[in-house]
Structure 1
Amino acid sequence: MTAIFNFQSLLSVLLLTVCTCTYIHRQFPALFDKRKEGVTTVFWKCARIGERASPYISLFCVFMALRLMLGSS
């Protein structure tokens, strides 16, 4: 089953995308410039979400890790 059809997997993929884009944007700020068009704009928006919603993103990461550790069905 792909991540599109499984809600928990979809949330994991979105969370990992936001976290990865935020980390890359902090290391290489010019890589995701907001004036670019195309796919990099999506990555820039994910990085911006990660920067501005940082406490909520980290809490969601902890929640997903606990859910995976406890073995969700």
Structure 2
Amino acid sequence: MSALFHFDALLLVILLLVCTCTYVRATVPGMVDSRKDKNIFFGMFWKFARIGERLSPYVSLCCIIMAVVTFVS
């Protein structure tokens, strides 16, 4: 099954995408920043990185909750 059909899997994919984009922007900022206005697809990565930077306590709390849910189920 695809992750798009399960709500838990979709949330996990979005959460991992936010964490990955934030990490990439922190390590190589020019890679994400230079493409934010050129393409809609790469601009979405910049937006995910911005969400991860601004809401980092909530994102980390969601990571912990998703880890517990994944281990329990």
Whichever residue aligns with residue 2 of structure 1, its letter is: S
Give the percent of matched residue pairs that are identical in Structure 1 and Structure 2.
51
Whichever residue aligns with residue 21 of structure 1, its letter is: C
Corresponding residue number in structure 2 for 1:46: 48
CA RMSD of aligned residues (A): 0.9
- What is the CA distance between 1:4 and its match in structure 2? 0.6
Whichever residue aligns with residue 19 of structure 2, its letter is: C
Corresponding residue number in structure 2 for 1:56: 58
Task: Please give the alpha-carbon distance, in whole angstroms, between the structure 2 residues aligned to 1:28 and 1:39.
Answer: 18
Runs of 4+ in 1 over 6 A off after TM superposition: none
Superposed counterparts of 1:1-73, under 5 Å: 1-33=1-33, 34-71=36-73
- What is the CA distance between 1:70 and its match in structure 2? 1.2
Question: If each structure's helix is expressed as a fraction of its own residues, which one has the higher value?
Answer: 2
Aligned residue pairs total 71
- What is the CA distance between 1:62 and its match in structure 2? 0.1
- What is the CA distance between 1:32 and its match in structure 2? 1.1
- What is the CA distance between 1:60 and its match in structure 2? 0.2
1:31 counterpart SS class: helix
Whichever residue aligns with residue 3 of structure 2, its letter is: A
